[in-house]
Amino acid sequence: MVENEESVLAEPEYELLHSRSEVFYDRFERKSELKHQTHYCPGCGHGIAHKLVAEALEDLGLQDRTIFVSPVGCSVFAYYYFDLGNVQVAHGRAPAAATGVKRACPDKIVIAYQGDGDLAAIGTAEIIHAANRGEHIAVFFVNNAIYGMTGGQMAPTTLVGQTSTTSPWGRRPVNEGFPLHMSELLATLEAPAYIERVALSDNKHIMGARRAVRRALELQREGAGFTFVEILSPCPTIWNMQPVEARRWVAEKMIATFPLNVFRDRKPTIPEGKNPPQRSVAEVLGLEEAGGKITLAAQAVARPQHHLKKLSIKIAGFGGQGVLLLGQLLAEMGMREGLEVSWLPSYGPEMRSGSAHCHVCLAQERIGSPLISHPDVLIAMNELSLRKFAPQVAEDGLIFYNREQLPDNFAAPQARVFCLPATEIADHLGAGKVANVVLLGALLEETECLASETAVAVLETKVRNPQLLELDRQALAAGRQFVDKEAHNDAISQSDGFAY
Amino acid sequence: MRQLSKGNVAVIRGAILAGCQAYYGYPITPASEIAEAAALYLPQVGGTFLQAESEVAAINMVYGAASAGQRVMTASSGPGLSLMQEGISYLAGAELPCVIVDVVRGGPGLGNIAPEQSDYFAMVKGGGHGNYRNLVLAPASVQEMADFTVLAFELADRYRNPAVVLTDGFVGQMMEPLELELKTVEEPEKPWAVKGTPETRPNLVTSIFLEPDDLEAHQRKLEAKYKRAAQLEARYETYMAEDAEVLLVGYGIVSRVLRTAVEQARQQGLRVGLFRPITLWPFPSKALAEAGARCAALLDVELSNGQMLEDVRLAVNGKVPVEFYNRVGGNVPSAEEIHDELLSRLAALA
């Protein structure tokens, strides 16, 4: 009795005027034994919405260029129907994932297909920001005022008074707020190119929806920007209605709450702004290719054997005194002289009005902990730092203090203390902010840990402003001279900590 | 050849060397310099940088870009990573390669912005839902921030899985010399990617397998992949471990403090060594068991409440006593502190 199914279908006894879109698969694989099976309920709007999208893609010749992003919800299985490149994503995140896809494939058509729970509840942030960025994606938003797949819970678009399993006495705005009007909300944004709300309530409205879906995809093909079609859609099973009754409910109740309208249809004017320069990887990374070998620009010749074995320096002061910068200068200098270096800052917003400090390690060998508990040198740019960190300095260490003399009631540490009014010297030169470079000069002159020529070379590459560079040179020289003079006067403090 | 670079910036330098094409992220201290460097450098080499509206969106943008076959990354710190966990589970489930950098700060909750290692469980053991693994690399220097980012891209592609660079605020914020070498990026073919072409039209990126048998088969495939990675990718480093009586165990910034502590101990004639896991998953259990078997005791040091400790104990499987010392809240122990701790533990053992 039963004939071979294939042969029956191969020779239809009727003339086919319309058939399944090429964009659909022949079979719904999840129920592969039944050729015409679908997982959507009788009267569900998804079937129609899918068909409108598929037919538009076919007619516009976009099948091979389209990537379809399916959501969580009843349409989670959209990829079983659409013969397209498919990406299935997390609940509510389709606009974000579609953003990643589109930016990777800018000349392709990217569709995000979402339900109301997905788009208007959990994914509210993602849809608003994708729309606001004017992402070049088409979003089809199927609004049936209910959570379908999870079994009928309240949606953000559930109507006032509409019952659901989580609003058993009907949606009460006093408790759950009002239905969310996503199209109107998105229409307040500058970037979207096209926003329309349509309904699958009857054939006339379905034809309107068909036109809107096509428009949204045509605009994608033209590269117009963000396009959004909200599709009011029946959900007979969860609404507990017959399909015809459900369609009527869309027409009478849903449209009354969510008026149909073209909220936006214009190509947005989006200023391009300043385009980043295009450079090679080598250029961007500061590497230059020279004769097949990569060298660093402005690289000083490394000394094979440095006289300095190991030195740890802690620099502390107020935020804004150039504490961190001084540390970076020292690290850069050490590196240029062929040493191993590390620079470890104190970091964070609370440091801005308080103390900032950093640790610099210079060594011939690989540096272990970049954190210094007993520095060889402390550069204290204010009294607070001196009092706080002086006790940590190694016994045979050295402290540079940014004042003419030590503060009163200061318990002298065992380390040698060198006082110099770096800020005053810098002020005298014309800019208090170069006090850190004055201290650098003093450090170099006193300890000879690194060469002052290296300091000048580093400053030349780091300081772009020629006036400031000149100030820095003067500051460096002033710091060195101060040490020279004081040394001549035998004025370096004694180990009892008092400076004369 | 060397340039002074911040750890966080080195991540992006490494990423560019590795041919990273896109970065999606959200600012957070102490990881923000990674996003800033990505914003500055990636577009100059034709890449994409986008600051997302949240970490949730960022990781899903990563998911989208990875679906299309791009080398893509994100970075954040603890609270941001908590928000990304859902997406990381999806990435692992859908077998999408990507690189995720976690510059760990103090927690739980808002905690603080100082360094901790308290995201070990979250990144090494999973953190998101379901049966999956992250490949986790733990750099301890600025150079490794770049090198391990490159390696993370390679491992992510090799195993079609998220690879995590797990570091902390100190390594992210510190500056050290960085030496980079241009190399040809060897990116594997990604025939599974969805690119909007006729060839890739049949492709599907998904993590949903509704039938129990299908999901079981999918998970068996993942398990086999993880088993392979566990056999091939465990990495570690030792220092003076051969004749050590006490083996210090620590990763990331702690391993550097421990290295100095080892040097100090050796100067006093104490036979102390260091075992530093470089991959936290796969954990170098076999190597640690072998190194540990020669010792009287292990001292595991962490900036957490003992999260790696579980893996250390599993590795030696009760054969060697494992002592534990930690600092949390953003405090990092000094080498001297470790040394004192070591002496007091040794006294107790004697």
Q: Are strands A340-345 and A377-380 parallel, antiparallel or unpaired?
A: unpaired
Question: What's the number of domains chain B is made of?
Answer: 2
Residues 30-59 of chain B whose Cβ lies under 8 A from any Cβ of chain A: 30, 41, 43-46, 48, 50, 52-54, 56-58
| Closest CA–CA distance from residue A275 to any residue of chain B (Å) | 9
Q: What is the pLDDT of residues A390-440, one digit of tens each?
A: 999 999 999 999 999 999 888 878 899 999 999 999 999 999 999 999 999
Q: Which of A96, A289, A347 sits opposite B57 (nearest CB)?
A: A96
Same domain, B290 and B215: no
Same domain, B217 and B241: no
- Rounded Cα distance between B63 and B49, Å, is 15
Q: What is the pLDDT of residues B240-284, one digit of tens each?
A: 999 999 999 999 999 999 999 999 999 999 999 999 999 999 999
Mean pLDDT of all residues in A176-198:
98
Predicted local distance difference test score (pLDDT) of residue A487 = 64
| Closest CA–CA distance from residue B61 to any residue of chain A (Å) | 4
- Rounded Cα distance between B190 and A68, Å, is 19
Q: Which residues of chain B have pLDDT under 70?
A: 350
Check pLDDT > 50 for residue A492.
Answer: no
| Closest CA–CA distance from residue A469 to any residue of chain B (Å) | 20
Residues 432-491 of chain A whose Cβ lies under 8 A from any Cβ of chain B: none
Give burial (CB, 10 Å; 0-12/13-18/19+) of A489.
Answer: exposed
Residues of B in Cβ contact (< 8 Å) with A285: 13, 16-17, 180, 182
- Measured between CB atoms, does B341 come within 8 Å of chain A? no
Q: What is the pLDDT of residues A374-387, one digit of tens each?
A: 999 999 999 999 99
Q: State the best of A283, A284, A330 to mutate against chain B, taking most chain B CBs within 10 Å.
A: A284
B281 beta partners: B136
Residues whose CB is less than 8 angstroms from the CB of residue A282 and which lie 6 or more positions away in sequence, other chains included: A288, A289, A294, B182
Same domain, B42 and B154: yes
Same domain, B41 and B145: yes
Residues of A in Cβ contact (< 8 Å) with B70: 100, 104
Whether B64 sits inside 8 A of A344 (CB atoms) is: no
| Closest CA–CA distance from residue A250 to any residue of chain B (Å) | 31
| Closest CA–CA distance from residue B255 to any residue of chain A (Å) | 8
**What rounded mean pLDDT belongs to chain A?**
90
Q: State the best of B175, B203, B218 to mutate against chain A, taking most chain A CBs within 10 Å.
A: B175
Predicted local distance difference test score (pLDDT) of residue A328 = 97
Residues whose CB is less than 8 angstroms from the CB of residue B171 and which lie 6 or more positions away in sequence, other chains included: B7, B103, B115, B139, B140, B141, B142, B145, B252, B253
Same domain, B14 and B133: yes
Q: Which residue, of B180, B209, B232, is where some domain finishes? A: B232
Check pLDDT > 70 for residue A496.
Answer: no
Residue B171: which of A67, A370, A339, A401 has the closest Cα? A370
Dihedral of the alpha carbons of A304, A310, A314, A315, in degrees to the nearest 10:
-30
Check pLDDT > 80 for residue A246.
Answer: yes
Whether B64 sits inside 8 A of A348 (CB atoms) is: no
| Closest CA–CA distance from residue B318 to any residue of chain A (Å) | 30
Do the beta carbons of residue A39 and residue A31 sit within 8 Å? yes
- Measured between CB atoms, does A9 come within 8 Å of chain B? no
Same domain, B171 and B317: no
Place of tokens 């995809």: A217
Residues 363-422 of chain A whose Cβ lies under 8 A from any Cβ of chain B: 367-371, 373-374
- Rounded Cα distance between A448 and B290, Å, is 47
Residue A468's pLDDT band, with cuts at 50, 70 and 90, is very high
Do the beta carbons of residue B135 and residue B233 sit within 8 Å? yes
* Chain B residue closest in CA terms to A66: B196
Predicted local distance difference test score (pLDDT) of residue A486 = 73
Q: How many CB atoms lie within 10 A of CB B214?
A: 11
Predicted local distance difference test score (pLDDT) of residue A11 = 61
The CATH superfamily assigned to A304-488 is: Pyruvate-ferredoxin oxidoreductase, PFOR, domain III (3.40.920.10)
Percent of chain A residues past pLDDT 70, beyond the cut: 89
Same domain, B213 and B284: no
Q: What is the pLDDT of residues A192-224, one digit of tens each?
A: 999 999 999 999 999 999 999 999 999 999 999
Backbone torsions φ then ψ of A192, nearest 5 degrees = -55, 145
- Rounded Cα distance between A116 and A162, Å, is 15
Whether B194 sits inside 8 A of A335 (CB atoms) is: no
Domain holding B259: CATH number? 3.40.50.920
Predicted local distance difference test score (pLDDT) of residue A255 = 98
Q: In what order do the strands lie in the sheet with A377-380?
A: A416-419, A398-401, A377-380, A310-318, A355-363, A340-345, B175-179, B2-6
| Closest CA–CA distance from residue A26 to any residue of chain B (Å) | 13
Domain interval for residue B115: 2-232
- The token duo for A143 is 């609004």
Predicted local distance difference test score (pLDDT) of residue B150 = 97
Q: Regarding the domain delimited by A20-265, which CATH topology (the fold level of the hierarchy) does it fall under? A: Rossmann fold (3.40.50)
Check pLDDT > 80 for residue A353.
Answer: no
Do the beta carbons of residue A35 and residue A5 sit within 8 Å? yes
- Measured between CB atoms, does B110 come within 8 Å of chain A? no
Whether A85 sits inside 8 A of B195 (CB atoms) is: yes
Same domain, B228 and B253: no
Same domain, B216 and B281: no
Q: Which residue, of B203, B232, B261, is where some domain finishes? A: B232
Same domain, B52 and B155: yes
- Measured between CB atoms, does A255 come within 8 Å of chain B? no
Whether B24 sits inside 8 A of A368 (CB atoms) is: no
* Chain B residue closest in CA terms to A125: B53
The size of the A-B interface in CB pairs under 8 A is 233
Considering only residues A245 and B127, tell me which one the structure prediction assigns the higher pLDDT.
A245
Percent of chain B residues past pLDDT 70, beyond the cut: 100
Same domain, B186 and B257: no
Give burial (CB, 10 Å; 0-12/13-18/19+) of B350.
Answer: exposed
Q: Which of B46, B64, B208 sits opposite A96 (nearest CB)?
A: B64
Can you tell me whether residue B264 is helix, strand or coil? helix
Mean pLDDT of all residues in A318-324:
90
Check pLDDT > 50 for residue A466.
Answer: yes
Residues 54-83 of chain A whose Cβ lies under 8 A from any Cβ of chain B: 63-67, 69, 76, 79, 83
- Rounded Cα distance between B11 and B79, Å, is 20
- Measured between CB atoms, does A22 come within 8 Å of chain B? no
Q: Which residue, of B232, B257, B276, is where some domain finishes? A: B232
Residues 327-366 of chain A whose Cβ lies under 8 A from any Cβ of chain B: 328, 331-332, 335, 340-345, 347-349
Predicted local distance difference test score (pLDDT) of residue A261 = 98
| Closest CA–CA distance from residue A85 to any residue of chain B (Å) | 4
Considering only residues A287 and A88, tell me which one the structure prediction assigns the higher pLDDT.
A88
Predicted local distance difference test score (pLDDT) of residue A10 = 57
- Measured between CB atoms, does A30 come within 8 Å of chain B? yes
Rg (CA), chain B: 20
| Closest CA–CA distance from residue B12 to any residue of chain A (Å) | 10
Percent of chain A residues past pLDDT 90, beyond the cut: 79
- Sequence spans of domains, chain A: 20-265, 304-488
Residue A398: which of A413, A382, A385, A410 has the closest Cα? A413
